[in-house]
Structure 1
Amino acid sequence: MPLTDSKIRATKPSPTPFKLTASHGLYLLVSPGGSRLWYLKYHFDRKEYSARWIREPYRRIRSDICIKLRYLRPVNGLPG
């Protein structure tokens, strides 16, 4: 099931941080304090990294990042 704006807004913080996964390594980290940060998990040189993208607003971030990934993957030799 895709990650939607309504699902993100309905999510309540818990005592431990947790992830809401979107797609292609993109996830939203919800902290105990209630802050929400977008991260992108990627691999480089056989190591896993994660890059913090941006805080809110939620609605367009996922679609904007997926569009950018669509163009970056062929350029960097990554599978589409």
Structure 2
Amino acid sequence: MKLTLEVLKNEFSENFLQKPFIAKNQILLFMYSDDIFKLDNLTQQARKIPGVKTADLFIPRKIAFPQEWIKDVVAEAKKSPTLHLMYQTN
């Protein structure tokens, strides 16, 4: 299972909403995309990974993120020397 988890991390890490974890003998991935069809494609790709028996796609209709958490994450990300931020001005 750890090998499968590593393969999944290598293939899909840029789409992770949070760090994958193992629970009840299952690997749980929370992924995101800007397009519902891309999510479907990611799910189909995950099903092809050796060691994956099933992959289910659940798309919530509404997601609420704690505002303070988002502010803290953005503030921390801004400190990164490798992060490239682009500001749009009108």
* Shorter-chain TM band: under 0.3
The structure with the greater share of residues assigned to helix is: 2
TM-score (norm. length: structure 2): 0.25
The structure with the greater share of residues assigned to strand is: 1
Greater Rg by CA: 2
